[in-house]
Structure 1
Amino acid sequence: MTVPEDRCRLVLIVPDIADMEEQAKIVADALRGGDVASVIIPQYGLDDGTFQKHAERLVPVVQAAGAAALISGDTRVAGRAKADGLHITGNVAELAEAVEKFTPKLIVGGGNATERHSALEVGELRPDYIFFGKLDGDIKPEAHPKNVALGEWWASMIEIPCIVMGGTDPKSALDVALSGAEFVALRAAVFAEPANAPAIVAEVNALLDEKAPRFED
């Protein structure tokens, strides 16, 4: 499989499913649909022990598909589950602590950057990526215009890659790609109808192959 490094790539956010086996199957199916750069595994409402079990079940599934498994939640879970990295949703201080403690052993990224000033504060920490939006911020068909605008501004001047949260419509991935962002995150757009997840991943990849701008080296 060729990896489309020169265009915006897909990041999946694991849906909130209490049944661990069902969750793992849905994620595995989606990953069969085509190129996915990484998968973010949120803790949602799970206690640390249950989240640990979910993470240990999901991480190998993600890695087997050639994607990076990123844990969002208890940082200790990431180490025990042998994840590839951490997604930090907290403030700049939390991200700073994680960058200091875990890089370069783990991928560390995140952000809670809602405007340019806080984004630049995140950038000063040199994380592996910055994330614009919330992991459960896909409440409308389109990506939030503010996040797309932040992604466009960031990608035009900062070397650190950015992930922009998409909307509930798979086609929202293209709007994010057109901003110049390196990655687009989808959750409900892919997982709302689990049976369709592989087809939607394939469809998004085809759309990005056809219409996403290519990055210069």
Structure 2
Amino acid sequence: MSDVQNRCRLVLILPEGDDLSARAAMLEGALKGGDVASVILPQYGLDDGLFQKHAEKLVAIVQNAGAAALVAGDTRVAGRVKADGIHVTGGVAELGEVVEKFTPQLIVGGGNATDRHKALEIGDVQPDYIFFGKIGGDIKPEAHPKNLALAEWWASMVEIPCIVLGGTDPQSALAAAEAGAEFVALDKAVFADPAQAPHVIAAVNALLDEKAPRFEE
């Protein structure tokens, strides 16, 4: 296996769905495709009870594959299912509260950094990572130029790692890597056709192995 630690790595965002067994099979299949740093499991429209049931099974699948499971939604659910971390989708105040309460026991990060000012406010609360983009925002083949520009600016001056949301084309991962991002998040690019998910992950890892810039030690 190649040394992936010194280049941009893949983060997956699991799409919404009511059928737990289908979601579990889709996730399990995808994770056989190669290196994945972490998987974000958003709550979407599920009520807390159903979300907890889904998260219990999905978190175990992620962890068994050697990736970190990040729950986006109810922090109590994240605790109950023994997730590795919490992805905060709210604003900087909420992120600050979650950081204070749960680090360093859990990984805590989040986004809504739509400009440099907001990004710096997020940096001030010292999350484990900052997320450029919005879950569900992958509507074009390429990553949003604004998110890439923010990532490039951020990576050049701030130590806190960043995750950039890619586009619907798996090749968009390379643009995030070239911007200096430590991680690129893919959703529809991987899961649009679940049967192809492992092949997409293998291809993205091969692309990043070959072309992604390397971080200095």
TM-score bin, normalised by smaller chain = over 0.9
Distance 1:61 1:142, change over 3 A: same
Partner of 2:139: 139
Partner of 2:54: 54
Are the equivalent residues in 1 in contact too, given 2:2–2:209 (CA < 8 A)?
no
Partner of 2:205: 205
Partner of 1:91: 91
Q: Structure 2: which amino acid aligns with 1:177?
A: A
Alpha-carbon offset, residue 17 of structure 1: 1.7
Q: Structure 1: which amino acid aligns with 2:114?
A: T
- 1:183 maps to 2:183: yes
* 1:4-45 alpha-carbon deviations (Å, 9 max, x no partner): 110000000011121001101100110000000000000011
Alpha-carbon offset, residue 2 of structure 1: 4.8
Are the equivalent residues in 1 in contact too, given 2:143–2:167 (CA < 8 A)?
yes
Partner of 2:121: 121
Are the equivalent residues in 2 in contact too, given 1:7–1:182 (CA < 8 A)?
yes
Give the whole-Å Cα distance in 2 for the aligned partners of 1:23 and 1:17.
7
Are the equivalent residues in 2 in contact too, given 1:3–1:35 (CA < 8 A)?
no
Give the whole-Å Cα distance in 1 for the aligned partners of 2:99 and 2:171.
33
Partner of 2:37: 37
Give the whole-Å Cα distance in 2 for the aligned partners of 1:95 and 1:65.
28
- 1:100 maps to 2:87: no
- Higher mean C-alpha deviation, range 13-22 or range 189-198: 13-22
How many residues align structurally?
217
Are the equivalent residues in 1 in contact too, given 2:111–2:134 (CA < 8 A)?
no
Give the whole-Å Cα distance in 1 for the aligned partners of 2:206 and 2:137.
24
* 1:66-107 alpha-carbon deviations (Å, 9 max, x no partner): 000000001100000100000001000100000000000000
Runs of 4+ off more than 3 Å: none
Say which SS state the counterpart of residue 176 (structure 2) adopts: helix
Give the whole-Å Cα distance in 2 for the aligned partners of 1:105 and 1:76.
14
Give the whole-Å Cα distance in 2 for the aligned partners of 1:31 and 1:87.
20
Say which SS state the counterpart of residue 142 (structure 1) adopts: coil
5+ residue gaps, structure 2: none
Give the whole-Å Cα distance in 2 for the aligned partners of 1:82 and 1:216.
33
Say which SS state the counterpart of residue 4 (structure 2) adopts: coil
Say which SS state the counterpart of residue 56 (structure 1) adopts: helix
Give the whole-Å Cα distance in 1 for the aligned partners of 2:79 and 2:192.
30
Are the equivalent residues in 2 in contact too, given 1:166–1:172 (CA < 8 A)?
yes
Alpha-carbon offset, residue 3 of structure 1: 4.8
Q: TM-score, length-normalised on structure 1?
A: 0.99
Q: Structure 2: which amino acid aligns with 1:21?
A: S
Q: Structure 1: which amino acid aligns with 2:186?
A: L
* 1:108-141 alpha-carbon deviations (Å, 9 max, x no partner): 0012110000000000111000000001110000
Give the whole-Å Cα distance in 2 for the aligned partners of 1:136 and 1:173.
16
Are the equivalent residues in 2 in contact too, given 1:63–1:69 (CA < 8 A)?
yes
RMSD, matched Cα: 0.7
Q: Structure 1: which amino acid aligns with 2:156?
A: S
5+ residue gaps, structure 1: none
Q: TM-score, length-normalised on structure 2?
A: 0.99
Give the whole-Å Cα distance in 1 for the aligned partners of 2:134 and 2:21.
25
- 1:194 maps to 2:214: no
Give the whole-Å Cα distance in 1 for the aligned partners of 2:32 and 2:3.
14
